Amino acid sequence: ERAKVYAVDANSGVGLWSVVVDTHALARIVGAPVYYDGRLFVPVSSAEESAARNPQYACCTFRGGLAALDAATGKLLWKSHSIQDEPPPVRISSAGAQMHGPAGGAIWSAPTIDVQRRLIYVATGNSYTDVDADGSDAIVAFDLDTGERRWANQLTRGDNFATGWPKD
């Protein structure tokens, strides 16, 4: 479980809680979580691009994520994705793998909180497939309280890092 968050007592070093914020097998947390008003906001990324180099891999189903946790208990308050819809099957590759899309939009860095507007902003990475996604290569704003995706401003369209995506 690579997308797991841990809370540790700073004085004793004793673990307080842990929670998985994304169940995708290749999900990772690489950006720093941000604390605000009793909540911990955790950005979620993945290593799916590397797995996609295997022609047998059914690419790609990961969608960048942002989770809000109760900092005291670890309870998941909400989770949202930079690419909103689950990636449907698109086609079968020449190697026989089921291909999906859109996917990607990983969140690699710490989010930014806008207290006045009650929004939290994230910067997302590229698309993992050749199926366009407005939540990749974008600044995405989520409602601070509910996690609802408010808007996305895609800065680079067509940035599809489809290393494992067969061009057949």
pLDDT digits (tens, 9 = 90+) for 99-115: 899 999 999 999 999 99
pLDDT of residue 161: 67
* Residue whose structure tokens are 């799916």: 48
Q: Which residues of 150-162 are buried (b: 16+ CB within 10 A; e: fewer)?
A: eebebeeeeebbb
Can you list the positions of beta strands (E) in 82-159? Answer: 89-92, 98-100, 112-114, 119-123, 138-143, 149-154
Q: Rounded to an integer, what distance in angstroms lies between the CA atom of residue 53 and that of residue 124?
A: 21
156 pLDDT higher than 60: yes
**Given pLDDT bands bounded at 50, 70 and 90, which one contains residue 153?**
very high
**Structure tokens given for 133:** 């996604």
